Amino acid sequence: MSNRKVYTDYFFDEPAYNTHDGGYVPLVEPTTPQQPLRIPELLKPDKETASDMYYTVTAQAGEVQLLPGAKTETWGFNAPLLGKTILFKNGKTIHITLKNDLPELTTFHWHGLNVPGPVTDGGCHAPVYPGESTEIQFKCHQPAATLWLHAHPCPSTAEQVWKGLATMVVVKDAVEDKLPFPHHYGIDDIPLILQDRRFHENNQWDYLADYDPDGVQGPTPLINGTVNPYFDVTTQRLRLRLLDGANRREWRLHFSNDLKFTQIASDGGVLPEPVDFTHLMLTCAERAEVIVDFSGYKPGDVVTLYSDDIPIAHFRIHEFAPDHTKLPNHLVDIPDPEVTANAPVHQVVMSGMDEEVMINNQKFDMQRIDDRQQVGKVEYWDISNTNDKASGMVHPYHMHGTQFRVISRNGHAPYPNENGLKDTVGVNPGETVRLKVWFEHLGVYMNHCHIIEHEDGGMMAQFEVYDPDHPKKYQLMDMTTLMNAFAKERGVKVSDLHIPGMDM
């Protein structure tokens, strides 16, 4: 038996849970019959050599049978909804053709991937127009991790993710391959993309009808695009790659009978030490890899995964072989470079709610560089949330182009599962979270709240990673060009264009 401490609370400030939001939409247990959990298939490379991988990633429209009756119209990557899981191998050069088969422009943002900005990173400055394609190439240079790909076209990111443009990305490396984790994708290594939706007439989604500037929510949990899923457990240990892929919802996760599970990885890869939990909260865009041990159950038992008190997935236990694998108390060494002497401390202040959200008292401007950091230097960033402690929100802060270290929360130690590499961190009202940040690539990148309606609404900034010996100029996209394109694609005048975030 492990002698590690078992954590039994969610850590974040309870008064700031989204359950207290004025517009909170509680989850409702689906009444439709349980159905097998959809496991996204792995995207097959167009070609792979000893040093290179080649992919084509296509944004496309489709329809999916989610509920009895009419199929739901959806968008996805290489699939009608969400997408096929994309596998990168650390050390290889990756070549990707990005195709847009949608009726409007989109972008392909590699959330958590350390790549040059702004184009390869795929934020607002890298639109791919309908019927067109573009090529990107980069060296995959980061440890094994669970990342994701999602649309990021300002200011329509939230609507496009809501329609389905989000899929998992897995980086593999030799270090993680040798760790005693479950490694068989689809059998004992399972992605769980956690989202929520509201179904309207004829089982359709209606983003504008559901719009809330503090984040769109729906009452129906959707796990890998499956309503009321079950998974047949055929191994004693199961590795779950959890992704909060929702626009707004926090997921407070626990199993029936408070079954213990062990977190082995966070956003940017394997944790230095495993952490045991009975309860785990994920804010928007965070990832956690956990191992669940079903040794105490027998064939015919069902273990249920809950968010708060709503069941969201059912694990049906079948016969399995005994597995006596034990996790070591130390898993991997995590980079922890020294902070550069006399480096400035960057200040990021997230403020407001609804339409009043801002960073450093400014709305996002695509043409404005708000901060700069020299490539190769290591500097502190202090991320503050000025919301009121009694009535404010947890703002999940995301930084493009890097994986950072969480140093402290209001001067105290970070949560016990925040000692690995991360790219997204929930910041409580009235709290300042200190990050240690460094970059490997040059470029212009975005940093923002990952309540997606907040970033669309202006709680977003951008910074440049620069080399003083090799200065670069970037052709940054402007909002007028994007709005003209959206209006043309939708067949309306710009003045009649209705994108909720465009008035930021």
The per-residue pLDDT for range 330-344, each reduced to its tens digit, is 999 999 999 999 999
Which pLDDT score is estimated for 502? 67
Which pLDDT score is estimated for 443? 98
Q: What is the mean pLDDT of residues 201-208?
A: 98
Which pLDDT score is estimated for 501? 76
- Distance between alpha carbon 231 and the CA centroid of its chain, in Å? 23
Question: Does residue 34 have a pLDDT over 60?
Answer: yes
Which pLDDT score is estimated for 500? 87
DSSP class of residue 355?
G
Global pTM exceeds 0.95 = yes
Per the CB < 8 A criterion, the answer to whether 237 and 322 are in contact is no
pLDDT digits (tens, 9 = 90+) for 407-422: 999 999 999 999 999 9
Kindly state the percentage of the chain with pLDDT values over 70. Answer: 99
Question: Does residue 237 have a pLDDT over 90?
Answer: yes
Which residues are within 8 A (CB) of 19 and not within 5 positions of it... i.e. 6 or more apart?
A: 26, 308
Which pLDDT score is estimated for 504? 52
Question: Does residue 117 have a pLDDT over 60?
Answer: yes
Q: How many angstroms separate the CA atoms of 327 and 306, rounded?
A: 25
The band of 74, judged by pLDDT with boundaries at 50, 70 and 90, is very high
Q: What is the mean pLDDT of residues 119-127?
A: 97
Which pLDDT score is estimated for 503? 61
pLDDT digits (tens, 9 = 90+) for 146-188: 999 999 999 999 999 999 999 999 999 999 999 999 999 999 9
List, in order of start, the domains of the chain with CATH numbers: 28-173 (2.60.40.420), 346-470 (2.60.40.420)
For the four alpha carbons of 176, 178, 184 and 189, in that order, the dihedral sign comes to negative
Q: How many angstroms separate the CA atoms of 387 and 305, rounded?
A: 31
Helical (H) or strand (E) element with 137? strand 133-139
Which pLDDT score is estimated for 498? 86
Q: What is the average pLDDT score of the chain?
A: 97
Q: What is the mean pLDDT of residues 245-261?
A: 98
- Distance between alpha carbon 303 and the CA centroid of its chain, in Å? 26
The band of 212, judged by pLDDT with boundaries at 50, 70 and 90, is very high
The band of 437, judged by pLDDT with boundaries at 50, 70 and 90, is very high
Q: How many angstroms separate the CA atoms of 383 and 135, rounded?
A: 34
On the question of a cis peptide bond just before residue 213, with omega within 30 degrees of 0, the verdict is no
Question: Does residue 426 have a pLDDT over 70?
Answer: yes
